[in-house]
Structure 1
Amino acid sequence: MVSFENPGIFWLILPVLIAGLYLLKKGTKKGLIISRIIVAILLITALASPFILVASVTSDDNPNIVIISDETDSMEIFSNESATELYEALTAKTPTSLVRLTGDSTALGDAIVQYSTGDNQIVLVSDGNSNTGEDVETALQFAQEMGTTVYYVQPEVEYNDISVEIEGDKTVVRNNENQFNIIVTQALEQEIRYTYELYSDDTLISSRTITQTERTKTIPITQVTFRTLGAHTLRTEIIPSSFDYDPINNEFYKAIYAIPKPKIRTIGLDVNSPLADILLNLYDVSRTGELANIDSRKAIVVDNTHANTFSESEVEELKSFLNDGKGIVVVGGDSSYNFGDYLNSSFEEILPIRSEPTDWTGGRSIVLVLDLSSSLAAQDVAFNKSKSYLETSEIDEILSMANSIIDNEDLRDSDLSVITFTDSAQEVSDGFIVLSNENDREDLMDIVSHLEPPYTEDSHIEKALSYAEEELNQKGGQSLVIIISDGGIGVNSEVYSDSVEIASRMHDNGIDFIFIHDYSIDTNNQKDSNGDYYAESFIYSIGQTDGYYFVEDTYTVDIDFGTADEDEPDFEEETDSGDFPLIELNSKHFITKNIEIEGSVTGYNDVTPKAGADRLIITSTGKPILTTWRYGLGRVASITTDDGLGGDNMWATELYSGNNSKLISSTVNWVIGNPIEESGAVVEADDTWYGTPTTIELTMYDEGIPTLKLDDETLDLSLTGTNVYEAVIEPDSIGMHYLSGYPVAVNYALEYRNMGVNEDMPSLIIANGGTIYGSVTEARSGIFEKAQENSEKLVKESVSQKYYFLIAALILFLGEVIIRRMKEIKEMKQQEKEIRHED
C-alpha cells in the first residue's frame, strides 16, 4: 500500500486540471495538452513523496542478554549461586551483563524498566516478590512494548521461612464484636507446626498449635471486642516447632482505634424484628422516622416503607445526603419495592434496582479475546520474509464481529474487557468497561476498529487466556470468555495443549466460553489429524457441549446472549418446602468477602438490577436479594427480602441468624464508608512496614491550630485541601507509635512479608511474551537458543516510490517529444518531396 509523506501537495493538481481544461477548450493540440497534464500530475505525485513499508526479518546470532539477579535480603533462603552460574554459562556464548539487586527492599519493576532497551533480552533470577517502585506487571508490559523479552528463572529454595500478619479493620466500634484473620505464609509447601499467640493490649486472647501444609493459611479469630474508646493493640506471635530461617517476621502488630457507635437513622423500622436487634445493638440508632437533622447521621436504613412516604422534597434531601458521601440501605417486605409502588417513582431513582419482575440474569464479566495473528498468513512467512504487516479482509471481519458483540443490546448490563493476541497478549481496553455507558462503549469500538495486526509467525492464544483468567479471578461473579479466531490455534501442539489446560481450569471455576470460528479458507492448520476443527475440539475438550459458532464471510455475528437461566451458576426451581436457597454471587466484595452465606428465604421482592449495579446475594432461581451500587459520592444497598419478621409471612428469618447476621452489619458498614464522626480534629493513617513511609491525614472540622505529634515530636503539616493537612512519617523502630494518641503500627520490613517464590510470576511472564525456567540447569541448556530465536525481529523500512513517478513523467515527456519530433521530420520530408515534385 502506497502512502505519502506530504499528501497536501495533491492540492496542486486542482489548478493543473483547471488550466488543462481551459487549454483543451481553447486549443487544438489536445494530445499535447493531455500529456502535459499527466506529466504535471506525475511530478506533483513525486513531490508528495510516495513510499511503501517493506518488512524484513532480522536476527542476531549473539543476542545481548542482561541478567538481573535479585540478591536482596529475602533471597537468603535461596541458592545464592544461581545467577553467577547462569552468567558464566551465557557469557561464553553471547554478550552478557550481570546486574545485582541488593539491600532490604526489592524493586524488580524499576530494574526491568531500566534495562529494557529494545535491543536486548532480560533474564530475571528472583523470587518474583517486588515491594517497592514500579509494578512488575506494568514493567513487563513496558518491556514487551520496547521489544525486550523477559525470561524468568526460578531459583531453588534451600531453607523454609515462616511469616505472619493480621488482617482486619483498623477502625472498630466500641463493644462490637470483630473478626480478624491471622495469615501465616511459608516459603515452601511442606508440613510445618507452630503455635500462635494473639494478644489484645498485652492480654492473651487466643492461642493454638497449628499443623500447616499449604503455602498460606488463614486462621479466623472471631468475637474480638474492645471495651474502651481510643487506641488499642493487637499483637500476634508464632513459635515454630520446625525449622524457620529467620524469626524477624514471626511477630506482627496491628493498631486498633475504637470509636463510638456510628449514628444512623431508621425509617419504618419494626423494633421487634431481627433487623432491629442487629441495628440497635451495633449502632447509635435514631428512630424518629423523619428526615430532619440527618446531617449528623452516617446512614439511613429504610425498612419496608411505601414510596408515597417520601415527598419529592424529601427524595431530593436523600439525594443530597448521598452526594455528601453517606449511605442508604432499603429493606424489602410486603409494603416496599414491587409492593410499595417504587416502580418509576423518584425514590426508585436512587436505588440499584427497578421494582419490576424479570427473568434478567445479566451483569456478566466478559473478556473478548481477539486473534490478530492470522495463522492463515503465518504459513506464508517462511517463504516471503519481506512482507509488510498483514492486511486481510479476515482481520476486518474479526474486528467487525468484535464490535457487533460490544454493541449487542443483550450485554448492556455487562462489564467487558478486550484482549488481543499474536505472539503475545495485550489488553486494549484498559481494564473492564461498563457497556451501559454509551461513551465508553463507542470509545472502545473505535479502538477496536483501528487495531493494526502485526505480521507474525506465532499465535499464542494461551497467553491471552492466562491474562483473561487473572482478570476474571479478580472480578468474581458470572464470567464469560468470547474468542474470535480464524481457528488456527492448533498449529503448535504445545500451545494448544496449554490453552486447553488453562481454559479447562477456568471452566471448572465457573467461567463459560464461546468460540467464534471465522472460517475463510479451508486450510490444514485449522484441522487436527482427524480432520476436526481445532476450534470446535477446543470447546468440547474443556467440558462444554455448546458454545462453538462457525461463521463464514460475515462482518457481524448473531448470538443470542439473552438472559437465560442457564447462564447462571446452578440455578434451581423453588424447593418443595417453598424455600429459596441463598447463593453468594460475588465473594470479593467488601460486604461478602468474609461471610459464607447459608440457608434460605421463603419470599422476596421481585426486582431487576439496574445497569452498573452489583448483585451480591441471589436466590437459587437467580432473583436478587442484596444488590448495591454507588450514587454520586454515596452508596446504596437494596435488600429485597423482609426484616426477618415481616407481616403475615416471615420471609427471611434465616438471613438474620447465625453467621448470616454479619451480612447486615457488613452492608450497613459498607454504606457508612468512614465511620469516624466528623467533628473536632480527626487523624487517619495506615499501619506501615519498617523502612516504608506512610502518609497521615489530619482533618480539622472545628476551628483551631492544627498540631500533631509523633511520639511527642511535633510534625510539620502541609495544607492539601480545605481544612485538610498531611505529613509523611517513617518511624525508625518496629512496634507501636502514636500520633497525638492515634495508633500506628510499624512491622518488619516488607522484604520479609512474602517469602518463597511468587506464584503469580509465571503467568505474568508468559502473558507478556516471556518463558519460564524451573531451574538454573534448565535455563543453561535452553535460554541461549531461545534468545537467538526471539532476537528475530520484523523491521519495517520506508522505501521511497517517487523515482518511479519521476521516471514515468520523464518517459512520457520524452516519448511525447520524440513522437512530436518524428512527426515534424516526417512532415518536413513530405514538404520537401512536394517541392521537388513541383520543380
Structure 2
Amino acid sequence: MNIALESPEMLLLIIPVLVAGFYLLRKTKTKLVEWRILVALLLVLALAAPYTTVTRTISEEDPSLVLVQDQTASMGIFPEETGTDLYKALTAGTPTTLVQLTGEKTSLGDAVTQYSGLGNQIVLVTDGNSNSGKDLSDALKFAKDADTPVYFVQPELKTNDLSVEMLGDKTVVVNNQNEFEIVVRQASEQSTSYFIEIFVDGKLSQSRQFTQEGRNNTIPINQAFTTLGAHNMSVKITPSGEDLNAVNNEFFKSVYVIPKPKLTLVTGETGSPLARVLSNLYEVSVVNGYPGAGNLTDSKVLVLDNQFIDTFSEAEIKEIKNYVSNGGGLIVVGGDRAYNYGNYLNSSLEEILPVLSKPSEFKGGRNLVLVLDVSPSTAAHGTQGDILSNAIKILENKNLKDANVGVIAFGNAAYDVSNGFVFMGLPQNLAILEEKIKTLTPTNQTETSLDQGLDITKQMLEGKDGELDAIIISDGGIEDSYDQSLQTAQTLKDMGVKLYFIHIRSSAPSQTDKTRTFYAEKLMQELGLENNYDPLDIGGRTNIIFEETAEPPEEGEENKSEDLGTYPLLEYSPENFIMKGVNLTNASITGYNQVTPKAGAERLAITVTGQPVLTTWRFGLGRVAAFTTDNGEGEGTLWASALYNGSNSKLISGMTNWAIGNPQAEEGAVVDAPDTWLNTPSDLTLIMYDEGVPQLKLDGAQLDLALTGRNTYEASVNPDKIGIHDISGYPLAVNYPLEYLEVGLNKDIESLILATGGKTYTEKEARALLLKDARQNSERESNDPVSLKVYVLLAALVLYLGEILVRRIREMRKLKQAQGETGTGEAGA
C-alpha cells in the first residue's frame, strides 16, 4: 500500500514538538512526557493528511453516450437519418446526449475534446473531414488519455459530389515554366466523367474531357508568364453525372510574377549543365574567382562550384560568412576540387557548411516495415506488451540509424501507424514512432488479419531501392488468414523483401508445447526462411542482426567514374520543401564527395549506400546547401549528368529556390498574402524597404495596418465574395468555403480511431453492436483516494486515553497502598 500526504509541509511542526519534548524530558525525566510527545507527533501527522489510493472496478449498465452528429454543409451527400435513427436506438437503451454540428465549418476535434472525460463515451457520425478548430488526431489522443472511448459510425453515401482545387506557388518568376497541379476529388469510388476548362487571366488556355476512376485525380499543367505583376488562373469542371454541390466546381488561383532573382556563380566551367540550368531560371552573374563583397550584396544566392579552399583568402571567407549570416543563401557544389578533395576539413569555410569533409559514419539504404499484431488474443494471452517492446527494441538498433521505417498494425483490419516511411536518422522521428507504438491497443473484434498487414507492407515497399525488410511480431494466432498471408508473403519474398517472424509465445499450453508446429513457424518453413523465425517466451527480447548494406567505395575511388558503376539516389525527406515534386526514381550518379552531416543538418537525398548528396541547414539568417556531387560536367568525369536533365533538374531548382528563401527583391514595398477560402481570413504582411507611408487598399477600401516589427506591418483580410481581389496591385484569390473541399468519407479517420483504441462501424453494425461495446468499455478501474487522517487521530486519542488510564490506575494503586499502610499502623497502636 502506497501512502502519500496532502500537506507534507505540516511535517515541519515536528521540529518544535521534538525541541519542546527534549527540553521537558531533561527537566522532568518522566514517562508522561514521552507519551505526550508521541501523541503530539501523531497530531502533526494528522495535520499532514496522510492518504492512500484504492483501485476499484466501475461498471455501468447504462453508460453515458454523447452522439456527435455532423450536419455541416458537406454532409448533404449522406442520409440525415443515419445520425437521428441511431440516436433514437441508443437513447432507448442508455442515456445519450445528441450534439449536432452545423454550418460551413466542421470542428470535430473541438467536439471530441469538449465531451471527453466525466465518464462519457463519444459516438461520431460524420464523414471525418475536420477543417476547423483543434486537430482531430490530437483530440483523439486527449480522449484516450481521459479514458473516453470514441466510436466512428460511417454513413452510407447516397449521392456523389465533386470538388476541384489548383495547387502551386503564388510567387513565380517571369518567363519560367511553372508547374501547377489540378486536383479533382469525388465522394464515391465509381467512374465519373467531367469536362475541365483552365483559364489564364480570364482567357481559356486549355480544355478536355476526363474520366476518373478513383477518389482523387491529379492533373499537372505548366504555365509561364511573360509580364510582371498580378495574374490569375482558374479551373472549372462540368460533371456529366451526379454532383450535389456546384459551388466547389470552380477554383481561383492568384499569381504574382517577379523578376528573376539574382545569383552569383563561381565556377571554372561556364558551360556546365549546372550553369545552363541556373541561367535558364535566374539572373546569373558568372565569375571565375571571388566576386567581391559589393557584388554579393545584390545577389540572393552565392554558388561555389567545385572550388579549392585556397581559391579564397581568410578575409574573403569571412565576408561569405557575414553574407550568409545576414540572410544570403549559399550552395556549395562538389567535384574533384571540393570537400574531401578541396581541403575543406577543419577550414573556415567548413564552419558555414552543414557537413564535415570526411567519410560518413553510417551507411543507409534500408527500408524496413514492422508488422505488429494488435488482435484481442495478444491482450488475452498477455503478449501485447512484449510485441510492442520488441518493436521499440528493433527501432533502437544502431544499424537502423539511416533506415526508413514504417509501422503497420493488424487485428481485425490493418492500418498504417507511421503514415508512410519515417527516416530514423533524426532523433525526433525515432521518438515520435516509439510514442505511436506505445499507444497501440488491441482491437475488440476477434479476427487476426495478417494478410491485410502484409498487403499494406507490399504497397509500401513497391518501387523502393536498397535493402528491403519486413518483420512480423505476433502471438502466432494467424490460422484464420494463413493461406492469404502465405500468398502475400511469397510475393514479398519474390520482390526481394527479407521477411522475419518474431513469435511471442504465451504461457498457454498450446503455446508452450514445443513438440507441435505453430502456424508462424509453418509460414516461415513454407517460405524457406526457417532461419528468420524467432520464437520467444514472454519476457524474451529479439536479437535480429541486420545484414550490412552495400559498402561505399574506398576513399580515392570516387573520382574514377568509369570504375564506379552507378549509385541510385533515395529521397530521405520527401515532405521537405526542396523534395516536393522531385522524383528520384530514375536518378543515379557515378561519383560523390565523402562527407558527414553535422548535428542539426538535414539529409534530403542520399545514395543507396547511405552517402549524403544533398544536405541543408540554417546558418544565422541564411540557408546553406551542400550538394556533394558535381556540376554534371566535372571536366569529363560526369558524376551527376543525369541530375541536370528532364524532371531530375527539379532537384537543382528546388535546392536553389530554398536557398533563395524570399525571391522578391528587397526594395520598395513588398506584400505577401496567401490565397484563402470564403469566411477564412488571410494574414497579410507588408514590408517597407524604402521610406514612405505604408498604405494598402483592398478593392479600393483602405486597410488598417498594425506595425509588428521593423518596417513590417500586418493586417487580416476577409473578403466576402468568391473570386480575385486586388490589394493595391497584389492579387488575392478567395474560393468556396473550405467545408466543400474534401468530399466523401475521410479514409484516414478509421486508422486514427483504431490507433487510439476506438472502433468503427457501419450504420447497421452500430445499431447491433455499439451499445454492447459501450457497456463493455464502461468497465474501468478507478483510483480513489482514501484518507488515513481519522485513523491517525484515533491512534492519538487511544494513546492519550491509554496514558490517562494507566496513570489513573497507578494513582489508585498508590492510594490503596497508602490506605493499607495507614490501617496497619492504627491496628498496631
TM-score, normalising length from structure 1?
Answer: 0.78
Structure 2 equivalent of residue 271 of structure 1: 270
Answer with 791-800 or 323-332: which moved more.
Answer: 791-800
Letter of the 1:743 partner, please give it: P
User: What do the CA deviations read for 1:431-487 (whole angstroms, capped 9, x no partner)?
Assistant: x999989xx99xx99x99xxx99x999999x9xx99xx99xx9xx99999999xxx9
Distance 1:218 1:371, change over 3 A: closer
Which residue, out of 806, 809, 821, partners 2:793?
A: 806
Aligned to 1:610: 598
Deviation at 1:818, TM superposition (A): 5.5
Q: Residue in 1 aligned with 2:300? A: 298
Range that drifts further, 509-518 or 811-820: 509-518
Letter in 2 for 1:771: K
Task: Tell me what 1:594 maps to.
Answer: 581
In structure 1, give the amino acid aligned to 2:741. Answer: R
After superposition, where does 1:383-782 map in structure 2 within 5 Å?
A: 523-524=507-508, 564-565=548-549, 578-597=565-584, 598-774=586-762, 776-782=763-769
Q: 1:513 to 1:754 in 2, by over 3 A?
A: farther
> What is the Cα deviation at residue 245 of structure 1?
2.7
Shift of 1:807: 3.7
- Rate the CA distance shift 1:206–1:115 in 2: closer, same or farther, 3 A: same
Distance in structure 2 (CA, Å) of the matches to 1:266 and 1:553: 60
Which letter does structure 1 place at the counterpart of 2:549?
A: D
In 1, the alpha carbon distance for the partners of 2:697 and 2:207 equals: 35
| Counterpart residue type for residue 119 of structure 1 | G
Q: Whole-Å Cα distance in 2 between the matches of residues 296 and 10 of structure 1?
A: 70
CA pair 547-639 structure 1, distance change in 2 beyond 3 A: farther
| Matches of 2:745 and 2:658, distance apart in 1 | 35
CA contact (8 A) 1:606 1:623 kept: yes
What SS class does the counterpart of residue 184 from structure 1 fall into? strand
Relative distance call for 1:710 and 1:9 in structure 2 (3 A) is closer
Q: 1:456 to 1:258 in 2, by over 3 A?
A: closer
> Deviation digits for residues 388-418 of structure 1, max 9, x if unmatched?
xxxxxx99xx999989998x98899999999
Q: Which runs of 5+ in 2 are unaligned?
A: 410-414, 553-557
1:239 matches 2:223: no
For the residues of structure 1 that align with 2:165 and 2:443, how far apart are their CA atoms?
48
Whole-angstrom distance in 2 between the partners of 1:807 and 1:663 = 79
Q: 1:532 Cα deviation (Å)?
A: 10
How far apart are residue 328 of structure 1 and its match?
A: 1.2
Give the whole-Å Cα distance in 2 for the aligned partners of 1:482 and 1:6. 54
Q: Secondary structure at the match of 1:647?
A: helix
Distance 1:601 1:366, change over 3 A: closer
Q: TM-score, normalised by structure 2?
A: 0.79
Tell me the residue number matched to 1:787.
774
Q: CA deviation at 1:505?
A: 14
Q: Could you tell me whether the CA contact under 8 Å between 1:536 and 1:548 is conserved in 2?
A: no
Cα distance between partner residues in 2 of 1:16 and 1:508: 80
Distance change >3 Å, CA 61–CA 265, structure 1 → 2 = same
Indicate the SS of the match to 1:744: strand
Deviates more, 1:590-599 or 1:804-813: 804-813
- Aligned residues: percent identity? 45
CA distance in 1, matches of 2:61, 2:120: 12
CA distance in structure 1 between the aligned counterparts of 2:14 and 2:487, rounded to whole angstroms: 60
Asked whether the equivalents of residues 302 and 329 of structure 1 are also in contact (C-alpha less than 8 Å), the reply is: yes
Determine helix, strand or coil for the equivalent of 2:629: coil
**CA distance in 2: counterparts of 1:208 and 1:12, whole angstroms:** 87
Any conservation in 2 of the 1:526–1:533 contact (CA below 8 Å)?
no
- In the alignment, the residues of structure 1 paired with residue 824 and residue 478 of structure 2 have an alpha-carbon distance, to the nearest angstrom, of 86
In structure 2, what residue type is equivalent to 1:309?
T
Match of residue 206 from structure 2: 206
Distance of aligned partners of 1:355 and 1:456 in 2 relative to their CA distance in 1, 3 Å threshold: closer
The alignment partner of 2:659 has SS state of helix
Structure 2 counterpart of 1:594, which letter? Answer: G
Counterparts in 2 of 1:15 and 1:100: CA distance versus 1, 3 Å: closer
Q: Distance in 2 between matches of 1:173 and 1:587?
A: 24
| Matches of 1:179 and 1:238, distance apart in 2 | 20
Q: 1:781 to 1:412 in 2, by over 3 A?
A: closer
Deviation at 1:320, TM superposition (A): 3.1
Greater CA drift, 798-807 or 499-508: 499-508
Maintained 8 Å contact 1:52/1:800: yes
| Distance (Å, rounded) in 2 between the aligned partners of 1:674 and 1:511 | 44
SS in 2 for 1:782: helix
Residue aligning to 1:91? 91
> Partner of 1:277: helix, strand, or coil?
helix
Question: Counterpart of 1:586 in structure 2: which amino acid?
Answer: S
Q: Does 2:78 align with 1:78?
A: yes
Q: CA deviation at 1:547?
A: 10
Cα 1:562–1:367 shift into 2, 3 Å: closer
| Contiguous gaps of at least 5 residues in structure 1 | 381-393
The answer to whether the 8 A contact 2:160-2:243 is kept is yes
Over 3 Å counting, the alpha-carbon distance change for 1:27 and 1:154 in structure 2 is same
Q: In structure 1, the residue corresponding to 2:634 is in which secondary structure?
A: coil
Corresponding position of 2:412: none
1:601 is aligned with what amino acid?
I
Q: Distance in 2 between matches of 1:716 and 1:782?
A: 57
Q: CA deviation at 1:106?
A: 2.3
Choose 319-328 or 528-537, whichever is displaced more: 528-537
The aligned residue for residue 310 of structure 1 is 312
Distance in structure 1 (CA, Å) of the matches to 2:115 and 2:178: 47
Per mean C-alpha deviation after superposition, the further-off stretch among 264-273 and 304-313 is 304-313
Q: Could you say what secondary structure the match of 2:635 adopts?
A: coil
CA distance in 2, matches of 1:297, 1:805: 79
- What is the CA–CA distance in structure 1 between the aligned matches of 2:51 and 2:38, rounded to whole Å? 20
Name the stretch that deviates more: 734-743 or 240-249: 240-249
Distance 2:752 2:514 in 1: 34
What is aligned with 2:555? none
Contact 1:112 1:143 in 2 (8 A): yes
Structure 1 stretch displaced more, 335-344 or 246-255: 246-255
Q: Which position in structure 2 is the counterpart of 1:123?
A: 123
In structure 1, the residue matched to 2:103 is 103
Equivalent in the alignment of 1:189: 189
Task: Specify the alignment match of 1:345 in structure 2.
Answer: 347
Q: Which region of structure 1 is more displaced relative to structure 2, 285-294 or 754-763?
A: 285-294
1:77 touches 1:159 (CA, 8 Å); kept in 2? yes
Indicate how the Cα distance of structure 1 residues 70 and 801 shifts in structure 2: closer, same or farther if over 3 A, else same: same
1:565 is paired with a residue whose SS is coil
Could you say if the C-alpha distance between residues 403 and 578 of structure 1 is closer, same or farther in structure 2, counting changes exceeding 3 Å? Answer: closer
Whether contact under 8 Å (1:199, 1:234) holds in the other structure is yes
> How far apart are the structure 2 equivalents of 1:835 and 1:401?
92
Residues 465, 608 of structure 2: 8 Å contact kept: no
CA distance in 2, matches of 1:826, 1:433: 87
CA contact (8 A) 1:413 1:610 kept: no
Secondary structure in structure 2 of the residue aligned to 1:319: helix
109-118 vs 298-307, which moves further: 109-118
Structure 1 residue 515, shift from structure 2 partner:
11
Describe the SS at the equivalent of 1:287: strand
Once residues 833 and 130 of structure 1 are traced to their aligned partners in structure 2, the CA distance between those partners, rounded to angstroms, is 97
When the two structures are aligned, how many residues end up with a matched partner? 787
Give the deviation of 1:205 after TM superposition: 3.6
Cα offset, 1:45, TM superposition: 2.4
Shift in Å at residue 187 of structure 1? Answer: 0.4
Native 8 Å contact 1:63 1:791 kept in 2: yes
Distance apart, 1:700 and its partner CA? 1.1
